[in-house]
Protein backbone atom coordinates (compact mmCIF):
# COMPACT_ATOMS: atom_id res chain seq x y z
CA UNK A 1 0.00 0.00 0.00
CA UNK A 2 2.76 2.45 0.91
CA UNK A 3 4.62 1.69 -2.32
CA UNK A 4 1.54 2.26 -4.47
CA UNK A 5 -0.15 5.12 -2.59
CA UNK A 6 2.39 6.56 -0.15
CA UNK A 7 3.24 9.61 -2.23
CA UNK A 8 -0.41 10.77 -2.11
CA UNK A 9 -0.97 13.26 0.73
CA UNK A 10 -4.47 12.00 1.55
CA UNK A 11 -3.52 8.48 2.65
CA UNK A 12 -4.22 7.30 6.19
CA UNK A 13 -2.97 3.86 7.23
CA UNK A 14 -4.87 1.96 9.91
CA UNK A 15 -2.56 -0.87 10.82
CA UNK A 16 -4.19 -2.47 13.85
CA UNK A 17 -7.98 -2.39 13.71
CA UNK A 18 -9.68 -3.38 16.94
CA UNK A 19 -7.22 -5.57 18.77
CA UNK A 20 -9.44 -7.60 21.05
CA UNK A 21 -7.60 -9.65 23.66
CA UNK A 22 -4.01 -8.70 22.83
CA UNK A 23 -2.06 -6.75 25.43
CA UNK A 24 -0.83 -3.24 24.70
CA UNK A 25 2.73 -4.61 24.65
CA UNK A 26 1.77 -7.09 21.91
CA UNK A 27 -0.02 -4.41 19.89
CA UNK A 28 2.83 -1.95 20.37
CA UNK A 29 5.46 -4.48 19.26
CA UNK A 30 3.50 -5.39 16.13
CA UNK A 31 2.65 -1.75 15.35
CA UNK A 32 6.27 -0.63 15.72
CA UNK A 33 7.37 -3.23 13.18
CA UNK A 34 4.67 -2.23 10.68
CA UNK A 35 5.27 1.50 11.23
CA UNK A 36 8.99 0.98 10.52
CA UNK A 37 8.10 -0.78 7.28
CA UNK A 38 5.72 1.98 6.19
CA UNK A 39 8.10 4.78 7.19
CA UNK A 40 10.86 3.24 5.06
CA UNK A 41 8.61 4.00 2.07
CA UNK A 42 6.30 6.80 3.22
CA UNK A 43 7.82 9.18 5.73
CA UNK A 44 4.86 11.46 6.34
CA UNK A 45 1.27 10.19 6.00
CA UNK A 46 -0.76 9.52 9.14
CA UNK A 47 -0.62 6.05 10.67
CA UNK A 48 -3.45 4.96 12.99
CA UNK A 49 -2.76 2.45 15.76
CA UNK A 50 -5.48 0.61 17.66
CA UNK A 51 -5.57 -0.21 21.34
CA UNK A 52 -6.72 -3.33 23.20
CA UNK A 53 -10.36 -4.15 23.84
CA UNK A 54 -11.67 -3.11 20.41
CA UNK A 55 -10.03 0.34 20.54
CA UNK A 56 -11.50 1.16 23.95
CA UNK A 57 -8.37 1.07 26.12
CA UNK A 58 -6.78 4.28 24.85
CA UNK A 59 -5.47 4.77 28.38
CA UNK A 60 -2.82 2.10 27.71
CA UNK A 61 -1.00 3.82 24.82
CA UNK A 62 -1.46 7.12 26.69
CA UNK A 63 0.71 5.66 29.45
CA UNK A 64 3.22 4.07 27.05
CA UNK A 65 3.01 5.57 23.54
CA UNK A 66 5.03 4.46 20.55
CA UNK A 67 8.00 6.79 20.12
CA UNK A 68 10.50 7.57 17.37
CA UNK A 69 7.98 8.18 14.57
CA UNK A 70 6.00 11.17 13.36
CA UNK A 71 2.33 11.46 12.41
CA UNK A 72 1.00 8.64 14.58
CA UNK A 73 -2.52 8.70 15.97
CA UNK A 74 -4.40 6.21 18.10
CA UNK A 75 -7.90 5.01 17.34
CA UNK A 76 -10.98 5.15 19.51
CA UNK A 77 -14.17 3.29 18.56
CA UNK A 78 -17.61 3.87 20.04
CA UNK A 79 -21.18 2.80 19.52
CA UNK A 80 -23.44 5.28 21.27
CA UNK A 81 -26.02 2.79 22.59
CA UNK A 82 -23.22 0.81 24.28
CA UNK A 83 -20.39 3.22 25.07
CA UNK A 84 -21.25 6.07 27.37
CA UNK A 85 -19.57 8.78 29.44
CA UNK A 86 -17.01 6.39 30.95
CA UNK A 87 -15.36 5.99 27.54
CA UNK A 88 -15.36 9.75 26.87
CA UNK A 89 -13.75 10.20 30.32
CA UNK A 90 -11.08 7.62 29.45
CA UNK A 91 -10.43 9.37 26.14
CA UNK A 92 -10.29 12.77 27.87
CA UNK A 93 -7.58 11.44 30.18
CA UNK A 94 -5.62 10.08 27.20
CA UNK A 95 -5.91 13.42 25.39
CA UNK A 96 -4.72 15.27 28.51
CA UNK A 97 -1.64 13.03 28.44
CA UNK A 98 -0.99 14.15 24.86
CA UNK A 99 -2.30 11.10 22.98
CA UNK A 100 -3.55 12.12 19.52
CA UNK A 101 -6.88 10.38 18.87
CA UNK A 102 -8.84 9.62 15.71
CA UNK A 103 -12.30 8.03 15.91
CA UNK A 104 -12.00 5.54 13.06
CA UNK A 105 -15.25 3.71 13.79
CA UNK A 106 -18.41 5.07 15.36
CA UNK A 107 -22.18 4.96 15.15
CA UNK A 108 -25.37 5.41 17.14
CA UNK A 109 -26.45 1.83 17.84
CA UNK A 110 -25.12 -0.99 20.02
CA UNK A 111 -21.58 -2.33 19.57
CA UNK A 112 -23.08 -5.39 17.85
CA UNK A 113 -23.96 -3.11 14.93
CA UNK A 114 -27.67 -3.62 15.57
CA UNK A 115 -30.37 -2.32 17.87
CA UNK A 116 -32.05 1.05 18.04
CA UNK A 117 -30.13 4.25 17.53
CA UNK A 118 -29.47 6.11 20.79
CA UNK A 119 -29.82 9.66 19.48
CA UNK A 120 -29.25 11.29 22.87
CA UNK A 121 -25.96 9.53 23.45
CA UNK A 122 -24.89 9.85 19.80
CA UNK A 123 -25.41 13.60 19.99
CA UNK A 124 -23.28 13.68 23.15
CA UNK A 125 -20.51 11.89 21.26
CA UNK A 126 -20.75 14.26 18.30
CA UNK A 127 -20.64 17.32 20.60
CA UNK A 128 -17.69 15.83 22.49
CA UNK A 129 -15.75 15.13 19.27
CA UNK A 130 -16.47 18.65 18.02
CA UNK A 131 -15.27 20.16 21.29
CA UNK A 132 -12.08 18.07 21.16
CA UNK A 133 -11.65 18.76 17.41
CA UNK A 134 -11.46 15.03 16.67
CA UNK A 135 -11.90 13.56 13.23
CA UNK A 136 -14.31 10.65 12.98
CA UNK A 137 -15.65 8.03 10.61
CA UNK A 138 -19.03 6.33 10.76
CA UNK A 139 -19.48 2.57 10.49
CA UNK A 140 -20.44 1.29 7.98
CA UNK A 141 -20.90 2.42 4.40
CA UNK A 142 -22.59 -0.75 3.20
CA UNK A 143 -26.07 -2.13 2.54
CA UNK A 144 -25.88 -5.15 4.84
CA UNK A 145 -28.93 -6.14 6.87
CA UNK A 146 -27.83 -4.43 10.07
CA UNK A 147 -28.55 -1.13 11.77
CA UNK A 148 -25.02 0.21 11.34
CA UNK A 149 -25.07 -0.07 7.54
CA UNK A 150 -25.95 3.38 6.23
CA UNK A 151 -27.27 2.30 2.82
CA UNK A 152 -30.42 0.58 1.61
CA UNK A 153 -30.17 -2.13 -1.05
CA UNK A 154 -31.32 0.50 -3.60
CA UNK A 155 -28.05 2.44 -3.24
CA UNK A 156 -25.72 2.49 -6.22
CA UNK A 157 -22.27 0.97 -5.89
CA UNK A 158 -20.92 4.19 -7.41
CA UNK A 159 -22.27 6.85 -5.05
CA UNK A 160 -24.58 9.78 -5.91
CA UNK A 161 -26.99 8.45 -3.28
CA UNK A 162 -30.42 9.97 -2.79
CA UNK A 163 -32.14 10.37 0.58
CA UNK A 164 -34.21 7.26 -0.09
CA UNK A 165 -30.98 5.25 -0.50
CA UNK A 166 -30.06 5.95 3.13
CA UNK A 167 -31.06 3.95 6.19
CA UNK A 168 -31.74 5.71 9.49
CA UNK A 169 -28.06 5.66 10.45
CA UNK A 170 -27.10 7.09 7.06
CA UNK A 171 -29.69 9.84 7.32
CA UNK A 172 -28.39 10.86 10.77
CA UNK A 173 -24.75 10.75 9.63
CA UNK A 174 -25.62 12.88 6.59
CA UNK A 175 -27.42 15.38 8.85
CA UNK A 176 -24.43 15.59 11.19
CA UNK A 177 -22.00 16.17 8.33
CA UNK A 178 -24.21 18.74 6.63
CA UNK A 179 -24.73 20.66 9.89
CA UNK A 180 -20.99 20.59 10.51
CA UNK A 181 -20.25 22.07 7.09
CA UNK A 182 -22.88 24.81 7.59
CA UNK A 183 -21.31 25.86 10.89
CA UNK A 184 -17.86 26.53 9.42
* 16-53 pLDDT tens trace: 999 999 999 999 999 999 999 999 999 999 999 999 99
> Residue length, the chain?
184
Element (H, E) at 177: helix 168-182
What pTM value is reported for the model?
Answer: 0.93
Domains and their CATH numbers in the chain: 2-139 (3.20.20.80)
Residue 134 has a pLDDT of 97
* 155-164 pLDDT tens trace: 999 999 999 9
CA distance 90 to 151: 32
Beta bridge partners of 166: 151
Whose CA is closest to 112, among 142, 73, 76, 83? 83
Cα-based distances in Å from 62 to 22, 67, 71, 104, 156: 16, 12, 15, 17, 41
What is the set of active-site residues? 18, 105
* 51-60 pLDDT tens trace: 999 999 999 9
Amino acid sequence: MATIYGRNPNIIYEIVNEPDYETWEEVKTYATEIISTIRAIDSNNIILVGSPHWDQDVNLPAEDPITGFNNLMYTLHFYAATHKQYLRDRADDAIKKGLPLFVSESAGMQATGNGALDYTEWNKWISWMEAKKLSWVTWSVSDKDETCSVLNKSASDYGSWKKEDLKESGTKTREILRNKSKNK
